[in-house]
Structure 1
Amino acid sequence: MEPSYLALARSGELAQRARTAVARLAACDLCPRRCGINRPAGEAGFCRIGRNAVLADYHQHYGEEACLVGSGGSGTLFFSGCSLACVFCQNWEISQPDASGGPAGEELDAAGLARVFLELQERGAENINLVSPSHVAAQILEALVLAAERGLQLPLVWNSGGYDSAATLALLDGVVDIYLPDAKVWDPDQAARLLLARDYPDVARAALAEMWRQTGKLVLDDRGVAQRGLIVRHLVLPQGLAGSEQWMDWLGSNAPGAAVNVMGQYRPCHQAGKFAELRRGLRPGDLDSARECARAAGLTLLEDPAIALLARLLQRAGPC
């Protein structure tokens, strides 16, 4: 299956969308924060990222969902900065500013980012997996134009927190092959406390519905590797703070049969210790209960990547 963006690249539409997105940086509204600042002029908004993307790391990742990993690993790029500020973030060192207020990583222009895409393809990666991409959508699009011209032909994975604006998703229609959003917190009051985004539930529900419209059910090739579709990640939080049952019910009604990964690897990270409910891990039964909600809603339940990685490592190690 040919990646979606190649047809747009051939027609010139991809380049036009990149130009449209870059123009929006001058009064930035790429993410739902709509900071309105001039990023090319050096003004800093919520994400603290300027004209160019800042890349913290990239590699072939074998800890993602099995359908993304395949045999070559998921070609994962970790972008610095984020449009959310989750108090329990497990990647907070790169997603949220350091003590000096600056992003961690290497600043790359479009050509530099395109080279990374092509390097991961040359190494044998199964896809290009963009982690925390929402605030650098423009930079990704202009890099994708260059990479497509130079032979990129891997599926594009949009690995976001689910906090994606309708206008930006419109630019990604026909560009992204696989959407991999989070469904984080259901209740607006909890979203305000834990994500610094009271509107997160409404924004995320609208975003997930649009992602589903664009790509639909997960499509695998004959090796079991994802080529297209929606995979929703849901991290179960202590004391039901994530609203797991509500999320699963909503997904069952609005994205029937969608693939979901209900994850149980919560641990108190970053600023979680400041919140009494988040100071401990999950109770026995919390994860099973959330997964049962997914099954009851008719969703396609995927495995926890952490468990799958352990299984693959044990398989490679062989018998004791």
Structure 2
Amino acid sequence: MICRLCPRECGAERTEGLAGGICGQPSLPVAARAMLHRWEEPCLVGVHGAGAVFFSGCNLRCCFCQNGPISQGGIGKPLTAPHLREIFQKLVDLGAACLDLVTPTHFTPVILEALGDVPWPVPVVWNCSGYEKPDTLRLLEGRVQVYLPDLKYALPEPARTYSSAADYFDWASAAILEMFRQTGPYRMEAGQLKSGVLIRHLVLPGELENTRRVIDWVSETFRPGDVLFSLMSQYTPQPGATGKLSRKVTAAEYRSAAAYLRNCGIRDGYTQERTSAQEEYTPEFDLSGL
């Protein structure tokens, strides 16, 4: 296929056996791990964990990615749609609180085939970078119950520097509005998120102004009870990181971001302990569960 699924619109030819484009993947899904994942937000984990499938490749390719071995390093196992459906079913049978599809955008057509038309007994979660095309998201309407987008940047300069995507906010803000149009205000049952939008933002060292502008947009765009917001402290410097990204977020930086969040009136969601900035929170991408 000539791929235009994401905002890069690179027009690469991606077939079952031919990888290409910014994501560097073929048209059939490639994944690096399927597991009951306990380190998502509490409303997604339940008793046994979120049923996470970590897809390989990424259209954004941030230089600080904690999943670098699979997003950019080529690790992964090719899957067919029937095999992927079997993985989904196995995770549900193991007691997964949701189907957590991590970095799925570049495999959208085949994931939809694997999901099928009959609703699953647990919510389907679209866990993505936020760098999405609304046209692609519209293909998911009625098939995805929970959207879990990052909102990494509101300023063009860090988006350009760290992800080569100066237009990130334009696309991400439009994408989140489309996600909210589909799901409406979030809905919880017994502490578990059944439908809605949960926006994540990772605080980056030395980039508090970017964090403030992200929070401003969310607080000005949505009313209390519309969306959930997760302010993450878990940035971990990756090998070769330089400049601002060579250190973790300080306690003072994260306290400032959390205080700004509260002052803007955002109460629905999560903050993190700074102990979350540890490599142990990133799974081993050893192809298990596939």
State the number of aligned residues. 273
The SS at the match of 1:180 is strand
Q: Which residue of 1 aligns with 2:2?
A: 27
Matched letter for residue 165 of structure 2 = A
Alignment of 1:170-209 (within 5 A): 170-209=138-177
Query: Against the structure 1 CA distance between its residues 168 and 141, is the aligned structure 2 distance closer, same or farther, given a 3 Å change threshold?
Result: same
Would the aligned equivalents of 1:209 and 1:255 in 2 still touch at CA under 8 Å? no
Mark the runs of 5 or more structure 2 residues left unpaired by the alignment: 279-290
Query: Against the structure 1 CA distance between its residues 291 and 305, is the aligned structure 2 distance closer, same or farther, given a 3 Å change threshold?
Result: closer
Would the aligned equivalents of 2:131 and 2:175 in 1 still touch at CA under 8 Å? yes
**Among 80, 84, 100, which residue is 1:109 paired with?**
80
The SS at the match of 2:13 is coil
Query: Against the structure 1 CA distance between its residues 127 and 187, is the aligned structure 2 distance closer, same or farther, given a 3 Å change threshold?
Result: same
**Among 146, 151, 154, which residue is 2:122 paired with?**
154
**Among 86, 93, 113, which residue is 1:142 paired with?**
113
Q: Which residue of 2 aligns with 1:220?
A: 188
The SS at the match of 2:206 is helix
CA distance in 1, matches of 2:75, 2:185: 35
Would the aligned equivalents of 1:65 and 1:305 in 2 still touch at CA under 8 Å? no
Would the aligned equivalents of 1:159 and 1:180 in 2 still touch at CA under 8 Å? yes
- Cα drift, residue 283 of structure 1: 2.2
Alignment of 1:3-22 (within 5 A): none
Matched letter for residue 85 of structure 1 = R
Over the aligned positions, Cα root-mean-square deviation in angstroms equals 2.0
TM-score (norm 2): 0.89
Greater Cα offset, 83-92 or 208-217: 208-217
Alignment of 1:43-122 (within 5 A): 44-96=20-72, 98=73, 103-122=74-93
- Cα drift, residue 40 of structure 1: 1.7
Greater Cα offset, 209-218 or 183-192: 209-218
Would the aligned equivalents of 1:235 and 1:266 in 2 still touch at CA under 8 Å? yes
CA distance in 2, matches of 1:124, 1:212: 27
Would the aligned equivalents of 1:268 and 1:280 in 2 still touch at CA under 8 Å? yes
CA distance in 2, matches of 1:307, 1:131: 23
- Cα drift, residue 153 of structure 1: 2.1
User: Would you say 1:36 and 2:28 are equivalent positions?
Assistant: no
Which runs of 4 or more aligned residues in structure 1 lie more than 6 Å from their structure 2 counterparts after TM superposition?
305-308
CA distance in 1, matches of 2:209, 2:202: 7
Mark the runs of 5 or more structure 1 residues left unpaired by the alignment: 1-25, 311-320
Matched letter for residue 84 of structure 1 = L
Alignment of 1:115-134 (within 5 A): 115-134=86-105
Q: Which residue of 1 aligns with 2:179?
A: 211
Query: Against the structure 1 CA distance between its residues 188 and 28, is the aligned structure 2 distance closer, same or farther, given a 3 Å change threshold?
Result: same
CA distance in 2, matches of 1:270, 1:32: 28
TM-score (norm 1): 0.81
**Cα distance per residue 1:165-205 (max 9 Å; x no partner):** 11101111222111111111222122111012121111111
Matched letter for residue 84 of structure 2 = L
Query: Against the structure 1 CA distance between its residues 113 and 187, is the aligned structure 2 distance closer, same or farther, given a 3 Å change threshold?
Result: same
Would the aligned equivalents of 1:53 and 1:136 in 2 still touch at CA under 8 Å? yes
CA distance in 2, matches of 1:211, 1:228: 11
CA distance in 2, matches of 1:291, 1:301: 11
The SS at the match of 2:126 is strand
Q: Which residue of 2 aligns with 1:251?
A: 218
- Cα drift, residue 247 of structure 1: 0.6
**Cα distance per residue 1:19-56 (max 9 Å; x no partner):** xxxxxxx2211111111122127251111111210010
CA distance in 2, matches of 1:137, 1:105: 17
Counting helix residues as a fraction of each chain, which structure ranks higher?
1
**Cα distance per residue 1:38-95 (max 9 Å; x no partner):** 2127251111111210010010011111110111210001000001111111110011
**Cα distance per residue 1:219-269 (max 9 Å; x no partner):** 111x21110011111110111267111111100111222211101111211
- Cα drift, residue 133 of structure 1: 0.9
Q: Sequence identity, in percent?
A: 38
